[in-house]
Chain A
Amino acid sequence: DQQVKQNSPSLSVQEGRISILNCDYTNSMFDYFLWYKKYPAEGPTFLISISSIKDKNEDGRFTVFLNKSAKHLSLHIVPSQPGDSAVYFCAASSESGGSYIPTFGRGTSLIVHP
């Protein structure tokens, strides 16, 4: 039973346009959300995060939106660049005995065409 779902396995976008990657979760105890980017043959790298007390967090071209009532978050990349082509993982976590062990989705492969 997937607690974190990324329903789109792939997304193709033209350079300069907006990329929107979506993520849904089922566990209402999740209170911290992260996005990771992964290039082939490399480990995932942290991109941006958001706490459940916020509904938006922005870092340069990357913005994460959180809709707690819908248990949905999205990552917006504007403008998209060819170097953004990678697999993007959504992750969610909740405090459990003082540790935060994130649960990851299956990832969305983003391709940005020049």
Chain B
Amino acid sequence: GAGVSQSPSNKVTEKGKDVELRCDPISGHTALYWYRQSLGQGLEFLIYFQGNSAPDKSGLPSDRFSAERTGGSVSTLTIQRTQQEDSAVYLCASSLLGGYGYTFGSGTRLTVV
């Protein structure tokens, strides 16, 4: 696609429910990143995929968070048993080689009530 596509754009969920957020990167981009931005905070790194290499999960805040990337393209970020502190904008970015020139999607605004 022409840009990084994320869905849904908004998600309201009840505390304790599981949610799945989707990212469709730019075609041909081998690197994919997930970040989140909580209110008043910067962009917090979550996870990084590069080609067929094992993902860098060092930013995931707890074991309730997981992500996968199927076929080197679409990625899904899953949050299990959501908590109110998970409320944030979740941003996905992709780049050609895992270096410079990241392109971000518009994000998914997650609200846990």
Interface of A with B (CB < 8 Å)? 2, 4, 6, 32, 34, 36, 41-46, 49, 89, 91, 98-107
Contact = CB atoms under 8 A, between A and B. Distances in A.
Interface stretch (B11-19, B41-49, B66-74, B75-83): B41-49
Contact of B33 (A34, A41, A101): A101
Contacts of B35: 104
B98 A106 contact: no
A100 B100 contact: yes
Q: Among B35, B50, B100, find the residue whose CB has the most chain A CB atoms closer than 10 A.
A: B100
Interface of B: 4, 31, 33, 35, 40-45, 48, 50, 56, 91, 93, 98-107
8 contacts: A34-B100, A43-B107, A44-B43, A91-B43, A101-B45, A101-B48, A104-B43, A106-B41
A101 B42 CA distance: 14
